[in-house]
Amino acid sequence: MKIRESSALILPPYFFLTVFFILPVLIILILSFTHNRDWSQGITLKNYLLILDPLYLKVLIRSLIFAVLATLGSLLIGLPMAYYISFSNPKRKILLTLLVLVPFWTNFLVRIFAWFTILGRQGLINSFLLWSGIINEPLQLLHTSGAVVLGLVYGEIPFMILPIIAAMDRMDISLLEAATNLGANRFMVFKKLVLPLASPGIIAGSIFVFIPALGSFVVPDILGGRDSFMIGNTIKNQFMTVRDWSFGSSLSIILMVLVLLGVSAYLRQGRDQSMTLGEYL
Amino acid sequence: MNNLLEIRGLTKLFGDYAAVKDLNLDILKGEFFCLLGPSGCGKTTTLRMIAGFDAPDSGEIKLNGNNLVSVPPHKRNIKTVFQSYALFPHLNVFDNIAFGLRMSKKPEVEISARIKNMLETVALEGFEKRFPAQLSGGQQQRVTLARALVNQPEILLLDEPLAALDEKLRLQMQVELANLQREIGITFIFITHNQEEALTMADRIAVMDEGQIQQIGTPDDIYLRPKNRFVASFIGQMNFIELDHLEQTDEGLLLTANTGLQFISHLSNPNCETSDLCFGIRPEQVKMRRERPGNQEVGFKGVISNEVYYGDSSIFIVHLENDQTLSIMHQNYLPSGINLESFQEGEQVYACWNKRAGSLLPE
């Protein structure tokens, strides 16, 4: 009886997910096999074959590269930050964790546009370089691939930092003292203890960054140029501009399958490496 | 003369509070030394300064005559057994024990040989591939011990390592630890708040309170000749009789308690303020009798109010005249199994002790 009641309680979220997540995905899946919603022409695979066109293939590969770079960049910056925050005294830790979340208080578009004032021709970086005489002509920083990756890192990095902090918080400080006592210097303590023990957080953070980065279209729209748009932009264009919903749908499905395959492979590999770890954390 | 570790004027402040105050200590090579004290007495802080986890505010720690204070913790040849064991959860037993040897870049062949040896010593052969979470508390304890000892440290620090074990296992580990230390000859500094652990294992004990050492001595010294009231009350059980004044007479010292009780003692005159002096006598030094005390004894009439039965012996609570209460240990049986004289609650008895027994304790 009790179990029945508690399963009744969980029904609303299931209902919500079915209606607002699974159904739309099913609709997209069906659409992707039609001749742009023209049901009279029957079903087709052409929307999927279209992706083999070098034009789209290039965008897809570029998107994967950007997402991987954004994940690596977030990890490179986020790991030392999480380490520092996690080992700060409790008061400072709360403050610093809060600061990681502060960007969420402002609209994402506004924050991305704010990069114009830094990367633009008259932006902070160019102004400084011109003023100090290092360059004579402003550098093209905006609307480049670099700007897109930078924007992705900037947008997603809190999702890298927070799970790593959570993983490090579970670490017993006496473990680090034990390692020091056994002759490990700071670097070795980090490498032999902190890193492996934080790996569940690193794995989670990487997934949280990689997935939204791969599907992103706002960042490349604003910070990218002609040669740096991503698969997200293509999908958006198919729906909003070209109005080929079926091709947009097939691209969405392909992206989703890629993410699922990538993440499950990553998790499987991560599990093998940290199997012993997962058992105890 | 062969001091391995010398501590001089060691002080550690936490804000205004001195956790360790001007501490002096000499530890001999190869001894089993015990730092004993209640929680908050500064013993763990002292240990952390020896290991290098905390830096002292002033004072010196010398190992073989070389100042240690400026040496970073990972370069000290002093290993620690942590109270929480602190085994690395992602490494198996072998890799845990190998950690220190790998840090000092020993060849793998030597590492394997030394670990094999060590696992034999702590009776954990065949456990190499197990992970810490797959071991019992006692086994984890041994791995921690092995992980520290395999590096052949000059000193092994043990921070209440037996506190988490159950009673039976703790007794067993006490014997094993003492044997192990004698076998390998490495200097042990053992931290505990458990007087029994200290008395059973240590060659010498330092009793600590309020950041200072109250007394250093062999277990015998500490138990039989406590230097002050703290040591006497912390180690074993002790009856205290607060003194009002004392007077040298022909028969010996005439002690007058603040309850009005007067008796002769053959202890030597401590020559200090009597106001904060008390007479301490252990429950096993007091005898209960139905007949009057003998010549060499002091005896007072009293009434048994309670008996606390322990099987082989009982502790009797006896109310003397003048509101003085004494705990008296009474043996219930002889080793041959013959019952000894038994006493009943409410019975009138004499509480007697030898005039040479007990101690005069300053505050």
- DSSP notation for A77-137: HHHHHHHHHHTS-HHHHHHHHHHHHGGGGS-HHHHHHTTHHHHSTTSHHHHHHHHTTS-SS
Q: Which residues contact B259 (CB under 8 A, 6 or more apart)?
A: B241, B242, B322, B323, B324
Estimate the share of chain A in helix, then strand, then coil, as percent rounded to the nearest 5: 80, 5, 20
A171 touches chain B (CB under 8 A): no
How many whole angstroms separate alpha carbon A34 and alpha carbon A40? 9
CA angle A171, A176, A178 (to 5 degrees): 125
The conformation of residue A225, written as its DSSP 8-state character, comes to -
How many other CB atoms sit within 10 Å of the CB of residue B33? 24
- B270-319 pLDDT per residue, tens: 776 666 789 999 999 999 988 888 888 999 999 999 999 988 889 999 99
Q: Does the pLDDT value for residue A273 go beyond 70?
A: no
Does position A281 have pLDDT exceeding 60, yes or no?
no
Smallest Cα–Cα separation from A59: which of A240, A258, A263? A258
Mean pLDDT score across all residues of chain B: 91
Contact: B131, A280; criterion CB under 8 Å = yes
Cα–Cα dist B178/B200, whole Å: 8
Model confidence over B130-189: pLDDT tens digits? 999 999 988 999 999 999 999 999 999 999 998 888 888 888 889 999 999 999 999 999
Which structure tokens are listed for A177? 């003292």
- Rounded Cα gap, residues A48 and A50, in angstroms: 5
Q: Can you give the pLDDT at residue A274? A: 52
Residue B186 has a CB neighbour count (10 Å cut-off) of: 18
Contact A175 B90 (CB under 8 A): no
Contacts of B159 in chain A (CB under 8 A): none
Subunit contact B86:A172, Cβ cutoff 8 A: yes
Report the alpha-carbon distance of residue B104 to residue B145 in Å, rounded: 18
Higher pLDDT, A9 or A272: A9
Would you say the ipTM is above 0.85?
no
Give the per-residue pLDDT at A280: 38
**Contacts with B89 from chain A: Cβ below 8 Å:** 175, 197, 276-277, 280-281
Q: What span, in angstroms and rounded, lies between the C-alpha atoms of B245 and B249?
A: 13
Contacts of B131 in chain A (CB under 8 A): 276, 279-280
| Most distant pair of Cα atoms in chain A: their distance | 78
Are A175 and B88 in contact (CB < 8 Å)? yes
Instruction: Give the model's pLDDT for residue A4.
Output: 66
Nearest CA-CA distance, residue A169 and chain B, Å: 15
Q: Where are the beta strands (DSSP E) in chain A?
A: 34-35, 38-43
How much is the average pLDDT of A26-34? 93
**High-pLDDT (> 70) share of chain A, %:** 94
Question: Interior CA angle at B186 toward B184 and B187, to 5°?
Answer: 145
* Residues of A whose CB is below 8 A from B68: none
pLDDT value of residue B341: 82
Written as six digits, the tokens of A152 are: 């992705």
Q: Give the span between the Cα atoms of B312 and B330, in whole angstroms.
A: 9
The long-range contacts involving A78-81, CB below 8 angstroms and separated by at least 24 positions, are A78/A157, A78/A160, A78/A161, A78/A164, A78/A205, A79/A160, A79/A164, A79/A198, A79/A202, A81/A161
- The DSSP bridge partners found for residue B158 are B81, B190
Is a pLDDT exceeding 90 seen at residue B91?
Answer: yes
Confidence category of residue A278, pLDDT binned at 50, 70, 90:
very low
Q: Does A38 touch chain B (CB under 8 A)?
A: no
Q: Report the chain A residue with the minimal C-alpha distance to residue B83.
A: A174
Q: Does A81 touch chain B (CB under 8 A)?
A: no
pLDDT of res. A272: 60
Six-digit token string for B196 = 């029994």
Distances (CA, A) of B29 to B26, B63, B76, B203, B224: 10, 10, 16, 12, 25
**Per-residue pLDDT reduced to its tens digit, B196-239:** 999 999 999 999 999 999 999 999 999 988 999 999 999 988 99
CA distance A277 to chain B (A): 5
Q: Residue A55 and residue A229: Cα distance in Å, rounded? A: 12
Coil, strand or helix: which one is A1? coil
Mean pLDDT (whole number) for A220-242: 92
What one-character DSSP code corresponds to residue A274? T
User: Which of the four pLDDT bands, split at 50, 70 and 90, describes residue B2?
Assistant: confident
Unique residue bearing structure tokens 């209960």: B288
pLDDT digits (tens, 9 = 90+) for B23-33: 999 999 999 99
| Three-class secondary structure assignment of chain B | CCEEEEEEEEEEEECCEEEEEEEEEEEECCCEEEEECCCCCCHHHHHHHHHCCCCCCEEEEEECCEECCCCCHHHCCEEEECCCCCCCCCCCHHHHHHHHHHHCCCCHHHHHHHHHHHHHHCCCCCCCCCCHHHCCHHHHHHHHHHHHHCCCCCEEEEECCCCCCCHHHHHHHHHHHHHHHHHHCCEEEEEECCHHHHHHHCCEEEEEECCEEEEEECHHHHHHCCCCHHHHHHCCCCEEEEEEEEEEECCEEEEEECCCCEEEECCCCCCCCCCCCEEEECHHHCEEECCCCCCCEEEEEEEEEEEEECCCEEEEEEEEHHHCEEEEEEECECCCCCECCCCCCCCEEEEEEECCCCEEECC
Is residue A196 within 8 angstroms of chain B, CB to CB? yes
Mutation site for B-interface testing, chosen from A180, A182, A186, A194 by largest number of B Cβ within 10 Å: A182
Domains and CATH numbers, chain A: 48-280 (1.10.3720.10)
* A148-151 own/partner pairs: CB under 8 Å, 24+ apart: A148/A66, A148/A219, A148/A220, A148/A223, A148/A224, A148/A228, A148/A230, A149/A66, A149/A69, A149/A70, A149/A73, A150/A73, A150/A115, A150/A119, A150/A223, A151/A112, A151/A115, A151/A219, A151/A220, A151/A222, A151/A223
Q: Which residue do the tokens 């003369």 mark?
A: B1
* Chain A residue closest in CA terms to B156: A181
Mean pLDDT of chain A: 89
Per the CB < 8 A criterion, the answer to whether A158 and A103 are in contact is: yes
